[in-house]
Amino acid sequence: MTHAEQLLAAKRDFLVPCVYHFYQRPPVFVRGEGAYLFDSEGRRYLDCYCGVTVVNAGHSNPEILEAAIAQLRRLQHTTTIYLTEPMLELARALAELAPPPLRRSFFCASGSEANEGALLLASLATGRRECVYLDQGLHGRTKWAMSVTGLEMWRTDPEPLRTAHAVPGPRHPGSLAALERLLRRETIAAVIAEPIQGNGGIVVPPEFYWPELRRLCSQYGTLLIADEVQTAWNRTGRWFAVEHWQVVPDIITVAKALGNGFPIAAFITSDAIAAHYTRPGAATFGGNLVSCRAALATLHFHQRHDLGRRSETLGAHLAGRLRHLQQRHPAIAEVRGRGLMLGAELRNPDGSPANQLTDAVLETLKDAGYLIGKTGPGRNVLTFLPPLIVEAEQLDGLVDALDCVLQGY
Ligand SMILES: Cc1ncc(COP(=O)(O)O)c(C=O)c1O
């Protein structure tokens, strides 16, 4: 038995079967450095998935590790019932980065938790109980968060909350009209949406969409929650993706890349909205000292290395090269995204989602030393989420490898 086969056997034995993995022949990753992952046999892979857009500042980033290790040596954990510095320093940093008037944070450990908290807050602040979400959005695994997830694959709950209502996704021409019909009831506490849908297949809304979403929510007294769990922290070339449309939501949720691999998440809101959440609220791992130090070091690293600009420039480069590839490979139906959050949708000659081809491309690219992801309701969107420290030449290598792989099809 190979090492990978042994681990697969242990996985079958000890994990809940819902925990799935990519690849027929999965490597065993043992080390990460910068843009690369290394497997147990010493092979190197350019990681263009980043553990789903988490290690935006690169694997084992020394500056972030040093800050976390120093904190780990001093004091690893207390909880929010005691006073400590790192959580408040991070809260101040988030208040400076978030669009005004958003300046108050509640820290927790995962994106699901941040969204669950944001929906609770919206309900407290408005006195309403219902909410609206978009088809093909993904917001998490907890009760509320899964009930507002519009991707069939991730809606495992046999009885999602009936107070959650779906409207068609942002590229559907009837999306906003359907939303307004629901908002007119004046029972909707919040609309929750990703600025660019990640798991939905890197779905970029039309330019008018978020400004309209903002206008409609304000008109009907509904709060707008931007789920920036994937899109924040320069993934799209901005701290927050809503900045592309100069829209200020009522609540922003963040997680993933904030700690560059250390678990930390938050919802961020205004004084006025936060004022409705006064009963005790505590997350044991919320504001964890080590995670907060790592997050502060991550934000400094982003600032010092101008990762927003890198994401924008390198994203334009990669998108251009993928579009060039599209002209030569008819299987690529569309290339879309912003910054270094890019997707290439693969379709069969009859127009159906090419999910088998997508799997074959992922497997062959992995064997060639490149890791990318796949998303979309048809599981047919190749997803490119490289670390923002990646070099243009490394991305060129990826595109050349993809070109070779697609030549066989
Ligand atoms: C947009 C979005 N929201 C929420 C979540 C859930 O985050 P977590 O897995 O940290 O609970 C995810 C996870 O992929 C996500 O992509």
Please work out whether the CB of residue 188 comes within 6 Å of at least one atom of ligand 1: no
Question: What spacing in Å lies between the alpha carbon of 106 and ligand 1's midpoint?
Answer: 17
Q: How many CA atoms lie within 13 A of 20 on its CB side?
A: 6
Question: What spacing in Å lies between the alpha carbon of 82 and ligand 1's midpoint?
Answer: 28
Identify the residue whose C-alpha is closest to ligand 1 atom 4. 139
Prediction pTM value: 0.98
Identify the residue whose C-alpha is closest to ligand 1 atom 8. 111
Q: Which amino acid is at 387?
A: P
Please work out whether the CB of residue 227 comes within 6 Å of at least one atom of ligand 1: yes
User: Per-residue pLDDT for the chain (409 aa), expressed as one digit of tens each?
Assistant: 899 999 999 999 999 999 988 899 999 999 999 999 999 999 999 999 999 999 999 999 999 999 999 999 999 999 888 999 999 999 999 999 999 999 999 999 999 999 999 999 999 999 999 999 999 999 999 999 999 999 999 999 999 999 999 999 999 999 999 999 999 999 999 999 999 999 999 999 999 999 999 999 999 999 999 999 999 999 999 999 999 999 999 999 999 999 999 999 999 999 999 999 999 998 999 999 999 999 999 999 999 999 999 999 999 999 999 999 999 999 999 999 999 999 999 999 999 999 999 999 999 999 999 999 999 999 999 999 999 999 999 999 999 999 999 997 7
CATH number for region 62-304 = 3.40.640.10
Q: In the chain, where are the structural domains located?
A: 3-57+306-407, 62-304
Task: Tell which one of 149, 151, 202, 229 to mutate to probe ligand 1, the residue whose CB is within 8 A of the most ligand atoms.
Answer: 229
Please work out whether the CB of residue 194 comes within 6 Å of at least one atom of ligand 1: yes
Question: What spacing in Å lies between the alpha carbon of 243 and ligand 1's midpoint?
Answer: 20
Question: What spacing in Å lies between the alpha carbon of 111 and ligand 1's midpoint?
Answer: 5
Please work out whether the CB of residue 383 comes within 6 Å of at least one atom of ligand 1: no
Please work out whether the CB of residue 198 comes within 6 Å of at least one atom of ligand 1: yes
Please work out whether the CB of residue 175 comes within 6 Å of at least one atom of ligand 1: no
Please work out whether the CB of residue 116 comes within 6 Å of at least one atom of ligand 1: no
Q: Tell me, yes or no, if the two domains 3-57+306-407 and 62-304 fold the same way.
A: no
- Which structure tokens are listed for 184? 């007119």
- Beta pairing class for 251-254 and 223-227: parallel
Please work out whether the CB of residue 52 comes within 6 Å of at least one atom of ligand 1: yes
Question: What spacing in Å lies between the alpha carbon of 139 and ligand 1's midpoint?
Answer: 5
Please work out whether the CB of residue 235 comes within 6 Å of at least one atom of ligand 1: no
3-state secondary structure the chain: CCHHHHHHHHHHHHCCCCCCCCCCCCCCEEEEEECEEEECCCCEEEECCHHHHCCCCCECCHHHHHHHHHHHHHCCCCCCCCCCHHHHHHHHHHHHHCCCCCCEEEEECCHHHHHHHHHHHHHHHHCCCEEEEECCCCCCCCHHHHHCCCCHHHCCCCCCCCCEEEECCCCCCCHHHHHHHHHCCCCEEEEEECCCECCCCCECCCCCHHHHHHHHHHHCCCEEEEECCCCCCCCCCCCCHHHHHCCCCCEEEECHHHHCCCCCEEEEECHHHHCCCCCCCCCCCCCCHHHHHHHHHHHHHHHHCCHHHHHHHHHHHHHHHHHHHHHHCCCEEEEEEECCEEEEEEECCCCCECHHHHHHHHHHHHHCCEECEEECCCCCEEEECCCCCCCHHHHHHHHHHHHHHHHCC
Under CATH, which architecture does the 3-57+306-407 domain have?
A: Alpha-Beta Complex (3.90)
Question: What spacing in Å lies between the alpha carbon of 99 and ligand 1's midpoint?
Answer: 22
Please work out whether the CB of residue 229 comes within 6 Å of at least one atom of ligand 1: yes
